[in-house]
Amino acid sequence: MKRIKSPQELEKLRKEIQAERDPNKSCIAICAGTGCLALGSDKIIAAFKKEIKKQGVDTAVTTIRETGCPGFCEQGPIVVIYPEEICYLRVTVKDVPEILSKTVVNKEVIERLVYKDPASGERIVKDSEIPFYRKQKRYVIGNNINIDPKSLEDYIATGGYAALAKVLNGMSPESVIEEIIKANLRGRGGGGFPAGWKWEATRKAKGEPKYLICNADEGDPGAFMDRALLEGSPHSVLEGMIIGAYAIGCGQGYIYVRNEYPLAVENATLALEKARSLGLLGDDILGSGFNFDIKINRGGGAFVCGESSALFASIEGRTGEPRAKYVHATDRGLYDKPTDLNNVETWANVPLIINKGADWYRTIGTENSKGTKIFALVGKINNTGLVEVPMGITLREIIYDIGGGIPHGRKFKAVQTGGPSGGCIPEQFLDMTVDFDELAKIGSMMGSGGMIVMDDHNCMVDVARYFLKFLEEESCGKCTPCREGVYQMRMILDKITEGKGTMEDLDTIEWMGQAIIDGSLCALGGTAPNPVLSTLKYFRHEYEAHIKDKKCPAGVCKALITYTIDPEKCTGCDVCARVCPTDAATGKKKEVYTIDQEKCIKCGACIEGCNFDAVIVS
Amino acid sequence: MEAKIQTIIDKYGADKGFLVPILQDVQKEFKYLPREALTHVSVYLGVPISRLFEVATFYKAFSLTPRGKHELSLCLGTACHVRGAPLIGDNIERTLGIKAGETSSDLEFTFETVNCLGACALGPILVVDGEYHGNISITKSNKILKKLGKKVQIDEEN
């Protein structure tokens, strides 16, 4: 494509691309995001290409689009046939010839591949009508299915870079900032700090050059919305960054992305090259005289580098140790220069606000939290995936209406939000609305948007211990209370999960947790005790069961459980004996089997193997 | 080795700010960071070797020891954890006779855990030599280990 030199030329190009595209043409959109790829969507894409040739389907009327993640990961690989919007779930390579001949060519719906409502048994053909999608407001991530992330034309055809054109076509930097402040866009990375204020502070700060960074170091375990955005719609993030750079008055930007996200790196790198060649990035953007470019930095696998000052250190080629924040990054950040740092999702919200206006944006959400938030709904939930919902929705709506509730008819126990900095929210708060301020009131936080659902088979002491173990490994070691305190707390929880805890330990955890909060420089240490303190607050009885009764009610902590075989259910099929690695399960075929407690290592193999639920954990 | 390292460093315009990506590329080339390689990086980039060791030991992505022929990494993100990943990890450790983070003495296997790969719908996830295996169970992990030549307890009849 030729370099474009003005906002008007961009609009002309958009019209040309749109005119070339026939909306009635068939398009097979296949998710090529990390989740579906892991489920084999690359093989499905290859099969479609092969089958199109084999069946002699006219490629002029049928195209394949390899898209980013549409969010319904549980039912992947996902294939949507346009223009009819027929959504096929859990597609396999075997289904490909039939989809092509029946649906693409003859417009026939294949019943078995469309969504089946588990409650009513009703089949739903269009993706927008599936309950998982119906309650969502997919303003930010919804475009993923409509574009090939590797195609700049696709993004432009769907209205991409129109916000940038609008900004460069007469908006002053101050008025852009004003619009973002008015929209009350708050940081989606977890802090919830108003992005517009940060922009303004960076703009006003003394010192040149100024830097701008996109934080794509999505370290919270169980959160993957930033990856899906950067992978599936990289240009929306770039567009937000370019607008931000114009408003702040900055010439160099960075995307700091996790090394564990190779596809996001690949797609973002390609997006940068394409934007540059079209004149949307680099010198004299759209003929406006404004210069801005972006470099990509891959992280080194350190959770703490998601913290602003540690992230700066990492970009500078040093170890990611945070520093005290009495001087704000907006004054002295990267290389000691004024720096604005926002998260991927925050950047992706910017074009939306500019296009539709702050007044429109303010109609979504609650009093102090505007817009939507993307959550990664994972764990013990029927519909695992990415959900974008307006702020102010209740947890119950997310978990039951969108998420479809808990699998296998088990009982909901808690939902963990905010990653290792957050807390576990018990059932009594399910009707609470979700926004930045409400979640903080009950000792959790919104965080970057991981929402891990747990059922009655999850031990809360074990979960607390898990997070401490995580943080113990990820603590950079600079502050002693964090480095040693988290370690000591984890040792105490080890003791409790082994049945050696005392009631005094619970008091120790509480005061020690407070000491770690008070004595740590950055948010990693400052919030490290949250998962423990919140479980202790809401699930104290589970801690007490481990200490007083020497029992793990959820049947997780190995030292406190035994495996036995229910003679009523055992059919003597011999599976447990065959899978047991220590020969602890023995018996005669067609008779009741037993487990030798001396030999049993509680590895779980027999539970997994038994088809009759005969292995009891108590 | 020297030429290869120089090519990598030149790709980044010998900019010290790109130390982490440079070391990542070096690691990709040699599968770990050989001491000799670090010495070259130190000389070309003008960064003291102590700084390189500081960085190489701080970030999880780097390994100062050779890696096994087969690399297994088990996701221990929260979603995988609540879906039973720890039991799979125990099984792999027991079968390979090494702990997470270690390499077997015959350099056949490296087993490690990672904190969330962001494919939580598939949890627990085991990545074997770059290939994702979702919804891993003890049985599935055993089948994978068997394919890689390990003796495991498998229910052959099922």
Q: Which domain holds residue A475?
A: 460-547
Judged by CB atoms closer than 8 Å, whether chains meet at B138 and A220 is answered as no
Do A403 and A390 touch, CB atoms closer than 8 A? no
- The minimum CA-CA distance between A16 and chain B, rounded to whole Å, is 37
- Subunit contact A603:B90, Cβ cutoff 8 A: yes
Looking at residue A116, which CATH number applies to its domain? 3.40.30.10
Q: Which of residues 559-578 of A touch B (CB under 8 A)?
A: 575, 578
Asked which of A303, A333, A361 is the last residue of a domain, the reply is A361
Nearest CA in chain B to A577: B155
A189 within domain boundaries: yes
Closest-CA distance, B96 to chain A, in angstroms, reads: 13
Angle between helices B19-30 and B49-58 (to 10 degrees): 80
Contact residues, chain B, for A476 at CB < 8 Å: 58
Q: Which residues of chain A have pLDDT under 70?
A: none
Q: Residues A63, A209: one domain?
A: no
Co-location of A329 and A346 in the same domain: yes
- Residue type at position A307: E
8-state DSSP, A103: I
Residues A158 and A116 in one domain: no
A4 neighbors A279 (Cβ within 8 angstroms): yes
| Interface touch B82/A458, C-beta < 8 Å | yes
Closest chain A residue by Cα to residue B152: A581
Per the CB < 8 Å rule, is A300 touching B154? no
Residues A580, B123: C-beta atoms closer than 8 Å:
no
Q: Are residues A537 and A599 in the same domain?
A: no
Give the E-state strand segments of A519-611 in sequence order. 563-565, 585-586, 594-595
Walk me through the domains of chain B, giving residue ranges and CATH numbers.
Answer: 2-58 (no CATH), 70-147 (3.40.30.10)
**Are the CB atoms for B70 and B128 separated by under 8 Å?**
yes
Cα–Cα nearest to B82, from A456, A424, A458:
A458
| B62 contacts A579? CB cut-off 8 A | no
Task: Identify whether the C-beta of residue A51 lies closer than 8 Å to the C-beta of residue A100.
Answer: yes
- pLDDT digits (tens), chain B, 158 positions: 888 888 888 888 878 878 888 999 999 899 899 999 999 999 988 999 999 999 999 998 899 999 999 999 999 988 899 889 999 999 999 999 999 999 999 999 999 998 888 888 888 999 999 888 988 999 999 999 999 987 776 666 55
The backbone torsions φ and ψ at residue B114, rounded to the nearest 5 degrees and listed phi first, read -125, 155
Chain A contact probe: residue of B24, B78, B96 with most A CBs at under 10 A: B78
Q: What is the pLDDT of residue A317?
A: 87
**Among the listed residues A294, A286, A351, the one whose alpha carbon sits nearest the alpha carbon of residue A13:** A286
Give me the residue from B62, B82, B125 closest to A300, CB to CB. B62
- How close, in Å, is residue B67 to chain A by CA atoms? 17
Q: Is the minimum CB–CB distance between A147 and chain B shorter than 8 Å?
A: no
Question: Is the Cβ pair B119, A297 closer than 8 Å?
Answer: no
A156 and A273 in a single domain? The answer is: yes
Residue A399 lies in a domain: yes
Chain segment A101-123, per-residue pLDDT in tens:
999 988 999 999 999 988 788 99
**Shortest Cα distance from A593 to chain B (angstroms)?**
16
Cβ–Cβ gap A380/B83 under 8 Å: yes
Smallest CA–CA distance, residue B53 to chain A, in Å, is 10
Of residues A38, A416, A605, nearest to B78 (C-beta): A416
Alpha-carbon distance of A208 to B4, in angstroms, equals 36
b/e burial code for range A406-432 (CB count within 10 A of at least 16 → b): beeeeebbbbbbbbbbbbbbbeebbee
Residues of A in contact with B90 (CB under 8 A): 603
Q: Is B103 helix (H, G, I), strand (E, B) or coil?
A: strand
Within-domain flag for A554: no
List the single residue in A218, A300, A474 with the smallest CB-CB distance to B20.
Answer: A300
Whether B58 and A384 lie within 8 Å, measured CB to CB: no
pLDDT 10s digits, A350-371: 999 999 999 999 999 999 999 9
The answer to whether residue A514 sits within a structural domain is yes
A421, A467: one domain: no
Number of domains in chain A: 5
A306 and A412 together in one domain: no
Give dist(CA A564, CA A345) in Å, integer.
Answer: 49
Contact B78 A603 (CB under 8 A): no
**Nearest to A74, CA basis, from A484, A520, A294, A387:** A387
H/E run at residue A389? strand A385-390
Give the pairing type, strands B109-114 and B70-75. Answer: parallel
CATH code: domain of residue A578: 3.30.70.20
| The pLDDT value given to residue A573 | 92
Residue A5 within a domain = no
Hey, are the CB atoms on B120 and A76 less than 8 Å from each other? no
Taking CB atoms and an 8 Å cutoff, what residues of chain B touch A380? 82-83
Cβ pair A260:B117 closer than 8 A: yes
Q: Do B81 and A604 touch (CB under 8 A)?
A: no
| A376: closest chain B residue by CA | B120
A54-89 burial string, b = 16+ CB within 10 Å, else e?
eeebeeeebebbbbbbbbbbbbbbbbbbbeeebbbb
Look up residue B51 and give its amino acid: R
Q: Is residue A319 a part of any domain in this protein?
A: yes
Which residues on chain B are in Cβ contact (under 8 Å) with A603? 87, 90-91, 94, 138
Residues of B within 8 A of A385 (CB-CB) are 121
Do A349 and A228 belong together in one domain?
Answer: yes
Residue A13 lies in a domain: no
Position A141 in a domain: no
Cβ separation of B55 and A384 shorter than 8 Å? no
Nearest CA in chain B to A334: B17
The tokens describing A329, both together, are 């990054």
SS3 string of A149-172? Answer: CCCHHHHHHCCCCHHHHHHHCCCC
| Tokens 């970009």 -> residue | A315
Say yes or no for a CB contact (<8 Å) between A379 and B62. no
Residues A157 and A279 sit within 8 Å (Cβ to Cβ): no
CA distance A358 to chain B (A): 32
Domain boundary among A399, A424, A455: A455
Nearest CA in chain B to A305: B59
Q: Which of A431, A455, A479 is the endpoint of a domain?
A: A455
Chain B within 8 Å of A314 (Cβ-Cβ)?
A: yes
* 3-state DSSP of A247-296: HHCCCEEEEEECCCCHHHHHHHHHHHHHHHHHCCCECCHHHCCCCEEEEE
Q: Which helix (H) or strand (E) holds B74?
A: strand B70-75
**Beta carbons of B96 and B141 less than 8 angstroms apart:** no
- Whether A119 and A226 share a structural domain: no
Rg (CA), chain A: 26
**Contact at CB, B137 and A608, closer than 8 angstroms:** yes
A310 and A176 in a common domain: yes
| Distance to chain A for B1, nearest Cα, Å | 22
Nearest to B120 among A224, A318, A320 (CB): A224
Closest A-chain CA to B128: A38
Beta carbons of A610 and A575 less than 8 angstroms apart: yes
| Residues of A whose CB is below 8 A from B9 | none
Q: What is the pLDDT of residue B155?
A: 65
Q: Does residue A183 share a domain with residue A266?
A: yes
- Phi/psi for A326 (5° steps) reads -65, -25
Say if CB A340 and CB A248 are below 8 A apart.
Answer: yes
Partner B, chain A 405-444, Cβ-Cβ below 8 Å: 416, 419
Q: Give the span between the Cα atoms of B125 and A384, in whole angstroms.
A: 14
How far, CA to CA in Å, does A29 sit from each of A69, A127, A230?
Answer: 11, 12, 18
A271 and A376 together in one domain: no
Angle at B127 between CA B122 and CA B132, to 5 degrees: 50
ipTM of the modeled complex: 0.89
A423: closest CA among A451, A444, A446, A395? A444
